[in-house]
DNA sequence: GTCTATATGGCGATAGAC
DNA sequence: GTCTATCGCCATATAGAC
C-alpha cells in the first residue's frame, strides 16, 4: 500500500471520528507514523486531503447494490434486497456511515450537489424506479426518501435506543431491522395499490 | 436578558453551525460582543459551556407535544398530530435539530444515556404507547423508531434532495411531508392489524 | 462583571537538507 | 519522499486592574 493510500485510509477513520476541524495534521501524521511535511508532499492542503478522503471512502460502494438491481427477482424482493444491503453497508463500514452523516450535517450546498450528482444519483434513480413499480400512483421521490430514511435511522439511533424502554438485543440485528422495514413498506405500498 | 443567557443562546446557534471544535471562544466572544475573559467569568471552561448550551436548547421542547397527547383525538389522529409537531419543531428550530444531529453523530455513550433518560424518555414512551394502541402485535420500539426516523430524514435530507431527479417544491412543505409519512404508517399499521 | 494583557501551547503550512 | 526546524497565527485559559 502506497503512503498516499495509507494516509487516505487513516484520514477517513479519523475525520469520521473527530470531524474536519477536530483532526489536526499533527494527529494524522502521528497516526500514519510520518511527519507533517511528508503528508504535505502528497496533498497541497488539509481541505484537499479531506475531499480526497471522502471520495476514496465512497469509491467502492456503487457496486454493492448492482447485484440487487441485476437479479431477476420481483420488485418486492428487490426492495427487501436493497434495504438489507443498505443496512449491511452502513453497519459494516461505520466510518463510511459517519462520514456521510457529517457531510449531511454540514450541508454545504456545493458539497451536497457533488454528493447527489456525482455519487448517489444513480442509486437513487434506480430506487425511485423501483418505487414507481411498487406504487405507481405515489410520489417516487418521497417513497425513495422514506426507504433510505427508515434504513438509516436504525443504524444512526442504535446508541440512543439502547437507553430507551423496550430495547431488545435483536434490535441490533440487521436481518430483524431489514425485515421490519421491508414489511412496513410493503404493507403500506400494497394497501395503497389495492 | 442576562449575559449568561445571551451567551448560551448565541452558543447554541454557533455550536450547531460549526461544531464543538469548530467554534472558538474568540468567535463566540465577538458574537456576543464581550471579551473572552467575560465568558470565562460565567463558565469554568469550554466543555461546560457546551453542555449547558445543549441543555438550554432542549429545555423548552418537552411541552410542545403535550397538547397532542392530551387531546381527545383518536389514536390515528394523535399519530398525525405527533408527526406534524415533530416536523414543525425540527423545521422551525433548525439549530435545535442540528445540535441533536451532532450529538447523535458523536454518539458518546454517556451523553446518549443523558439524552435518552433525561430528555427524550417521556416522549418516546408515550409514542411507544401509541404504537401499541395502533398495532398491538408489533414491536413498539421498532414502530416508534420508524416514526421518528421517517420524520427526521425529510428535514435532514432536504439540502440533498434538491439535487436529485424528481424533486418538487412541495417536498419542503411540512404538511406534505407529514401527510405522506402519516399515510405510509397508517396504511401499514392498518393492514397489519386487519 | 467586564476589561486589557499575557502565558502557554497547538495549529496549518513551508524551507531546505538528505 | 521523508525528515528536522521553524514561521506566524490562533487556540484555551488566567492574572489583575477597574
Q: Which residue of A has its CA nearest to B179?
A: A142
Q: pTM score, two decimals? A: 0.94
In this model, does residue A64 exceed pLDDT 70? yes
Where residue A116 sits, what CATH number does that domain have?
A: 1.10.357.10
The protein footprint on chain D, as nucleotides within 7 A of a CB, is 1-5, 10-16
Which nucleotide has the shortest C1'-to-CA distance from B3?
C1
The partner residue sitting opposite A142, judged by closest CB among B125, B180, B190, is B180
CB contact under 8 A, A161 and B181: no
Number of domains in chain B: 1
Q: Which residue of A has its CA nearest to B167?
A: A141
The number of angstroms, rounded, from the C-alpha of A52 to the middle of its chain's C-alpha atoms is: 17
pLDDT at A193: 59
Q: How many CB atoms lie within 10 A of CB A157?
A: 20
pLDDT at B191: 81
pLDDT at A176: 98
Residue A157: domain span: 58-193
Which nucleotide has the shortest C1'-to-CA distance from A21?
C11
The spacing between the Cα labelled CA in A45 and the C1' in C14, in angstroms, equals: 12
**Can you list the alpha helix ranges (DSSP code H) found in B59-169?**
66-70, 75-92, 94-106, 109-113, 121-134, 140-156, 158-161
In this model, does residue A63 exceed pLDDT 90? no
In this model, does residue A91 exceed pLDDT 60? yes
Which nucleotide has the shortest C1'-to-CA distance from B43?
D13
Q: pLDDT per residue over A23-35, tens digit each?
A: 999 999 999 999 9
Whether B62 maps to a domain, the answer reads: yes
In this model, does residue A103 exceed pLDDT 70? yes
Whether A120 maps to a domain, the answer reads: yes
pLDDT at A96: 94
pLDDT band (50, 70, 90) for residue A118: confident
Q: pLDDT per residue over B10-53, tens digit each?
A: 999 999 999 999 999 999 999 999 999 999 999 999 999 999 99
pLDDT at B153: 98
CB contact under 8 A, A116 and B164: yes
- Mean pLDDT, residues B164-175 taken together: 97
Whether A29 maps to a domain, the answer reads: no
A105 touches strand C (CB under 7 A): no
- The whole-angstrom distance between B60's CA and the closest CA on chain A is 21
Whether A175 maps to a domain, the answer reads: yes
The number of angstroms, rounded, from the C-alpha of B16 to the middle of its chain's C-alpha atoms is: 12
In this model, does residue B180 exceed pLDDT 70? yes
* Amino acid whose CA is nearest the C1' of C16: A37
Percent of chain B topping pLDDT 90: 89
Cβ pair A23, A110 in contact under 8 A? no
Whether A48 maps to a domain, the answer reads: no
Structure-block grid coordinates of residue A124? 437513487
The spacing between the Cα labelled CA in B55 and the C1' in D17, in angstroms, equals: 35
Structure-block grid coordinates of residue B155? 428535514
Cβ pair A49, A55 in contact under 8 A? no
Whether B40 maps to a domain, the answer reads: no
Q: pLDDT per residue over B46-65, tens digit each?
A: 999 999 999 999 888 888 89
Q: What is the mean pLDDT of chain A?
A: 95
Residue B42: how many CA atoms within 13 Å on its side-chain side?
18
- CA distances to A29, A48, A56, A120, A124 from A4, rounded to whole Å, are 12, 13, 11, 25, 31
Whether B86 maps to a domain, the answer reads: yes
Q: Residue A138: phi, psi to the nearest 5?
A: -100, 160
In this model, does residue B192 exceed pLDDT 80? no
In this model, does residue A14 exceed pLDDT 80? yes
Q: pLDDT per residue over B124-134, tens digit each?
A: 999 999 999 99
In this model, does residue A167 exceed pLDDT 80? yes
* Amino acid whose CA is nearest the C1' of C15: A37
pLDDT at A142: 98
The spacing between the Cα labelled CA in A56 and the C1' in C10, in angstroms, equals: 28
Whether A51 maps to a domain, the answer reads: no
The protein footprint on chain C, as nucleotides within 7 A of a CB, is 1-5, 10-16
Residue B146: how many CA atoms within 13 Å on its side-chain side?
27
Structure-block grid coordinates of residue A123? 442509486
The spacing between the Cα labelled CA in B61 and the C1' in D11, in angstroms, equals: 34
- Mean pLDDT, residues A7-22 taken together: 97
pLDDT at A194: 52
Q: What is the mean pLDDT of chain B?
A: 95
pLDDT at B134: 96
Amino acid at each position: 500500500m502506497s503512503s498516499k493510500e495509507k494516509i487516505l485510509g487513516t484520514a477517513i477513520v479519523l475525520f469520521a471520528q473527530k470531524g474536519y476541524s477536530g483532526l489536526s495534521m499533527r494527529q494524522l501524521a502521528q497516526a500514519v507514523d510520518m511527519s507533517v511535511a511528508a503528508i504535505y508532499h502528497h496533498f497541497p492542503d488539509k481541505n484537499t486531503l479531506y475531499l480526497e478522503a471522502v471520495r476514496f471512502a465512497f469509491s467502492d460502494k456503487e457496486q454493492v447494490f448492482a447485484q440487487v438491481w441485476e437479479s431477476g427477482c420481483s420488485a418486492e424482493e428487490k426492495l427487501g434486497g436493497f434495504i438489507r444491503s443498505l443496512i449491511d453497508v452502513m453497519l459494516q463500514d461505520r466510518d463510511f456511515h459517519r462520514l456521510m452523516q457529517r457531510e449531511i450535517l454540514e450541508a454545504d450546498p456545493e458539497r451536497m450537489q457533488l454528493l447527489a450528482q456525482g455519487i448517489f444519483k444513480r442509486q437513487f434513480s434506480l430506487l425511485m424506479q423501483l418505487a414507481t413499480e411498487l406504487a405507481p400512483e405515489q410520489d417516487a421521490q418521497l417513497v425513495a426518501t422514506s426507504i433510505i430514511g427508515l434504513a438509516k435511522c436504525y443504524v444512526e439511533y442504535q446508541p440512543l435506543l439502547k437507553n430507551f424502554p423496550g430495547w431488545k438485543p435483536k434490535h441490533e440485528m440487521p436481518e430483524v431491522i431489514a425485515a421490519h422495514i421491508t414489511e412496513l413498506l410493503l404493507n403500506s405500498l400494497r394497501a395503497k395499490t389495492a
